[in-house]
Chain A
């Protein structure tokens, strides 16, 4: 049981039985009427049993002892947490998709290929096994230095020119062994973004003026499609981070890349 529910980098997962029938799926997913949600995906369509079924489909086997909590309300989606001592999974409460899977450290696989593994090969296999592949998108490999914890992140990020789109996959590996730590399939439905009318330089100037800090400087800026946290409407923004060493304080400002309006969305 324990071994077979891992995201195994070498052996992969084999679906040996159809554990989740169409009938079970139908039982797990219901239509729920609620007050007008702030976004198109905030409706809780999935029951806890549906979240469990989603994880069982993901793994190809039953998880009878799993604890299920939620849904937990985020900005643009709600998620159920499905958890056993061996893994933690997050399931989108709107469509029943597994958006995240984390292996418990004690269940990590230390394969014989340690120190000679190919992170892209392992991560690609994990994505393919879980129907998360992104054909046409080239992965990037990043060493994530967390001090005493060293990881390798293999990321597929869909873009449109310089615009980051809300469609990303990531597989994280132990940097020493190649063991699969986590899997993320983070995607939200979006329309083709509009033409950018605001340059990065203009956006940075707007952010510096809007942040409310006395001596700010820009630390990073990124053009991306996201959603309005109040209405759920799609927006194209420059997300600009600034830092003021004199306080010290940080601010995150989103500048609408069409209208040029800046809004402080985070403080630190």
Chain B
């Protein structure tokens, strides 16, 4: 299992992945030591300056494969221009996306992929890896390359301002008769302490989602709050696509409706 796909091909001028790969743990330790914090707080979000933002996309194999990489790239483009150390990760495992070098260091986090009630997937190493809302015990595990969002409480991602689950039905809880019950947005905001989470309660489609991502992160970068950005992104996606929302108007918001991400910074 390659947890760092694509990093060897990055431009040499892109210093940030190297920083993350080599020294994220050291930075976390330094932060804890310098602040004199207790061991229980050592799992808190690793705070960087400038703050970090990560988005995850993938291209699934096959002629019918979904490609969400452009949507992920828009977050990097828009927030990278507003003071974030923004990074787009293509084809990373779900467990990697939640790791100390990603979600646990992020002020903003977004994932785009196949999904259903209670989980979202990323295609990594020809395998669909799953980020579940909660542990399920039977169908999938929370072990790498998969992950369970509910395992990131205790302050691990509580300084994250915004978490976007860009996939079908990600705003709905899994059927309780299935192993993947519970809702990603609720777990993120209520159990993990993320300020605002966004999901969708219907199917969503690409390419309209690419326009949605461009407008959503662009409007956030312009200083508007998440409510404004969500409304504008859905409506502009429809206007751009001949009146076809592509499901983007079925967005759901959890937590604060007034979260902003500029000026760049972490949540409280």
Binary contact track B215-246/A, C-beta < 8 Å → 1, others 0: 00001001011011011100110111111101
Q: Is A8 an interface residue when CB atoms closer than 8 A count as contact?
A: no
Out of A226, A229, A266, name the residue touching B246 (CB < 8 Å): A266
CB distance from A103 to the nearest CB of B (A): 9
Give min CB distance, B132 to chain A, whole Å.
13
**B116, B211, B227, B235 — most chain A CB neighbours (10 Å):** B235
Binary B-proximity of A153-190 (CB < 8 A = 1, otherwise 0): 00000000000001010001000000001101010100
Closest to A85 in B: B223
Q: Are B243 and A166 in contact (CB under 8 A)?
A: yes
Could you tell me which residues of chain A, from 198 to 222, have a CB within 8 Å of some CB in chain B?
211-213, 219
Cα–Cα distance between A227 and B241 once the two chains are bound (Å): 10
Contacts of A249 on B, CB cut-off 8 Å?
64, 66, 114
Find chain A residues with CB under 8 A from B219 CB.
88
* Interface residue from A99, A239, A243, A267 paired with B239 (Cβ < 8 Å): A99
Dominant SS among interface residues on chain A:
strand
Complex Cα distance, B116 from A219, in Å, reads 14
- Complex contacts, A239 vs chain B, CB 8 Å: 244
A267 and B235 form a contact (CB under 8 A): no
A94 to chain B: which residues have CB within 8 Å?
none
The contact string, 1 if C-beta is below 8 Å from chain A, for chain B 166-208, is: 0111010000000000000100000000000000001111111
CA distance A219 to B253 in the complex (A): 23
Contact of A74 among B231, B241, B253 (CB under 8 A): B241
Contact status A105-B225, CB under 8 Å: yes
Using known A-B contacts A147-B171, A149-B257, determine if residue A74 contacts B242 with beta carbons closer than 8 Å. yes
Contact code string A43-82 (vs B, CB < 8 Å = 1, else 0): 0000000000000000000000000000010111101000
When the two chains form their complex, are residues B209 and A268 in contact, meaning their CB atoms are under 8 A apart?
yes
A212-268 interface (Cβ within 8 A of B): 212-213, 219, 226-227, 229, 239, 241, 243, 245, 247-252, 264-268
8 Å CB contact of A100 from B115, B235, B252, B256: B235
Chain A interfacial positions (CB closer than 8 Å to B): 72, 74-77, 79, 83, 88, 90, 99-100, 102, 104-105, 144-149, 151, 166, 168, 172, 181-182, 184, 186, 188, 211-213, 219, 226-227, 229, 239, 241, 243, 245, 247-252, 264-268
List residues of chain B with CB under 8 Å of any chain A CB: 63-64, 66, 114-116, 121, 167-169, 171, 185, 202-209, 211, 219, 222, 224-225, 227-228, 230-232, 235-236, 238-244, 246-247, 249, 251-258
